[in-house]
Amino acid sequence: VALWVLFVLNAGINYQRRTFSELAGYEIQESTVEELTALCEDLITEINGAAEELEKEPVLTERKMTETAVRAMQRAGESYPALAGYYPRAKRVRSWWYLSWQQLQGEYSPFTVEANYNGHMPEMDIPSTVCHELSHLKGFMREDEANFIAYLACRQSDSAAFRYSGALLAYIYSGNALYKADPEAYLSLRAGLCARAGTDLEEHNGYWRSFDG
């Protein structure tokens, strides 16, 4: 009973709250092929720009990365009051194999109120995943909302690694939607990705495919 109460108070009850889009003043509607195409074009521009900056930026240590994630979320809170406030540093899960076999990049613990991430997955996945998990600490439990919040936070970060990771996260979902609607448009746009992004996306897909089944 105690565990059930903790889950409801620290996670479950938030599925009934107002959505982030409502609080932020965004209207959700179906996208046209033209809108998806324009979105993917913008994301590719963001990805390529951040990838170029990455060449000059030192690799983030684990501590620096979690601290940068906190700053990114706090900066997002300046634009979106629902995200404002205190954030703890996310924790790297030691049993990474458990998360990987479950196809999980991270995990929010409602019993300890902690944001956890899979540190074994490809490097490009980590910054956006940490911001995703931190968004759960603000009560946004829906995965699509957490992904969108992660993109917003990464986009405003001073770190090129975070902007790169966030834009790739958004591109994966937007690109998949465009591919379903217009495969030719998707393939044409994908050719515009820089070599680094193409390699990182292949690594991303290969890593998660290795845990299928």
pLDDT digits 0-9 by tens, 88-104: 999 999 999 999 999 99
In sequence order, what are the residues at sequence separation of 6 or more whose Cβ sits closer than 8 angstroms to the Cβ of residue 12?
110
Q: Are 145 and 20 contacting, i.e. CB atoms less than 8 angstroms apart?
A: yes
154: closest CA among 168, 142, 174, 143?
Answer: 168
- 185 alpha carbon, distance to own chain's centre: 24
Q: What's residue 79's pLDDT?
A: 96
Q: Quick one: pLDDT at residue 42?
A: 98
12/8 Cα distance (integer angstroms):
4
- Average the pLDDT over 135-155 and give the result: 96
Q: What is the pLDDT of residue 5?
A: 81
Tell me what the pLDDT averaged over the chain comes to: 94
* Mean pLDDT calculated for residue range 161-173: 98
Percent of the chain whose predicted confidence (pLDDT) is above 70 = 100
* pTM over 0.85, yes/no: yes
SS3 of the chain: the string is CHHHHHHHHHCHHHHHCCCHHHHHCCCCCCCCHHHHHHHHHHHHHHHHHHHHHHCCCCCCCHHHHHHHHHHHHHHHHHHCHHHCCCCCCCEECCCHHHHHHCCCCEEEECCCCEEEECCCCCHHHHHHHHHHHHHHCCCCCCHHHHHHHHHHHHHCCCCHHHHHHHHHHHHHHHHHHHHHHCHHHHHHHHCCCCHHHHHHHHHHHHHHHCCCC
Tens digit of each residue's pLDDT (9 = 90 or more) over 38-56? 999 999 999 999 999 998 9
Q: pLDDT of 14-37, one tens digit each? A: 888 889 999 999 988 999 999 999
Contacts of 184 (CB under 8 A, 6+ apart): none
- If pLDDT is split at 50, 70 and 90, which confidence band does 203 have? very high
